[in-house]
A and B are shown apart, each in its own frame.
Chain A
């Protein structure tokens, strides 16, 4: 789905076209729900997060800007932020470090599954990039991004100084960026 299609469907959302919302959910529902589940330990609560993300798009379609990325990336970012807000307020919904790291490693090394929007080849490239990062960097980045930990919490959980946690997050992103360089645009 290219950006012109993203813009077209958002234009329909602005016109309050309910079919457009249904189409968006059909296209991205599996990804949005998976993102919520990656962050939130309770599948029922993850489903609520996914619903909130789609309703947010329905209520404020103008918040999407195609210049900044795909509708898919936008929705996943909204979902991630809503999920993080939830786990930060409800400690029991927070996933353990081991669960987060195991899931991230499975995603980066496992075979391509039932691909919906991001093509199989593209996701394989993302997986290759993620698996190219060292374990210590991946662990820190995953704890922060999917686990909702602040860098101080990352430091405490990994038993490392705060400065080291910040460095691992920076180097992890830099290495991921490097691994993605010269690959097709993914956003």
Chain B
């Protein structure tokens, strides 16, 4: 840990090639997010990395591949896209008040010890919520910021069916940080609730109320084993389990 800028910069190319050790991934990712210079360098390699993938000549599709995939796809075709199941009434899941607590991202601004990545996210949020010059360029820049975060290794990107709303869930040392852009205000007496999916089973990561289309939260729930994230609109206070189709999902 605590590598210098130059040391981290030397790991940008290995990082985009997926060639840094698991122990270094988090540190390099956090640095890229916070450093414009390194972010630009990482972006500059995207065409080269894509060309590596596209250089592989196609082969004949194995006979069984399509049939095998279709068989498995049909098996879970009954599930909604984000695979957010309803929870049985006799579930022993915690009540609303026992749901994992979350802190609105605003409060993180004051937390000097917050991870740098969180500060960057919060900064982006403040930029938007304080906007008096709500220009299209600025909104596009904010959206791009979320896209950049979602592009980092280990992050999960969320999208809406229309593509208008995007979100990113990023792992941190203490759990995860979620950030979304392009949200409509929820109906009155409702909020957005974030769900972590583990084999399709949802666990609440907390609730948030967006401002100017932007919202987010920090969760202390580990993202280890989490294979998807979804956001639903729920009554204020949150729900024990998702009650509607996700507005955002991985």
Which residue, B58, B68, B83, B248, has most C-beta atoms of chain A within 10 A? B58
By the criterion CB–CB under 8 Å, are A187 and B19 in contact?
no
A101 interfacial contact with B, CB 8 Å: no
Tell me which of B54, B62, B159 contacts A47 (CB under 8 A). Answer: B62
The interface residues of chain B lying within 8 Å CB-to-CB of A110 are 57
A62 interfacial contact with B, CB 8 Å: yes
The interface residues of chain A lying within 8 Å CB-to-CB of B19 are 144-145, 149-151, 154, 169
Measured CA separation A54–B147 after assembly (Å): 23
The interface residues of chain A lying within 8 Å CB-to-CB of B228 are 60
Stretch at the interface among B72-80, B97-105, B181-189: B72-80
By the criterion CB–CB under 8 Å, are A59 and B56 in contact?
no
By the criterion CB–CB under 8 Å, are A55 and B70 in contact?
no
By the criterion CB–CB under 8 Å, are A114 and B159 in contact?
no
Q: Assuming the A-B contacts A21-B70, A31-B56, A169-B19, are A62 and B12 also in contact, with contact meaning beta carbons closer than 8 angstroms in the complex?
A: no
B158 interfacial contact with A, CB 8 Å: yes
Measured CA separation A65–B148 after assembly (Å): 12
Q: Which residue of B lies closest to A110 (CB)?
A: B57
By the criterion CB–CB under 8 Å, are A62 and B250 in contact?
yes
Chain B interface, DSSP helix/strand/loop, else mixed: mixed
By the criterion CB–CB under 8 Å, are A114 and B17 in contact?
no
Tell me which of B46, B51, B68, B151 contacts A126 (CB under 8 A). Answer: B51
Number of interface residues of A (CB under 8 A): 80
The interface residues of chain B lying within 8 Å CB-to-CB of A76 are 53-54, 56
By the criterion CB–CB under 8 Å, are B52 and A141 in contact?
yes
B130 interfacial contact with A, CB 8 Å: no
Q: Which residue of A lies closest to B62 (CB)?
A: A47
B113 interfacial contact with A, CB 8 Å: no
Q: Which residue of B lies closest to A79 (CB)?
A: B53
Q: Which residue of B lies closest to A168 (CB)?
A: B13
The interface residues of chain B lying within 8 Å CB-to-CB of A127 are 55
Q: In the complex, how many angstroms separate the beta carbon of B150 from the nearest chain A beta carbon?
A: 8
Binding site for A on B (CB under 8 A): 10-14, 16-21, 44-62, 64-66, 68-70, 72-74, 76-77, 81-83, 147, 150-151, 156-161, 163, 166, 228, 248-250
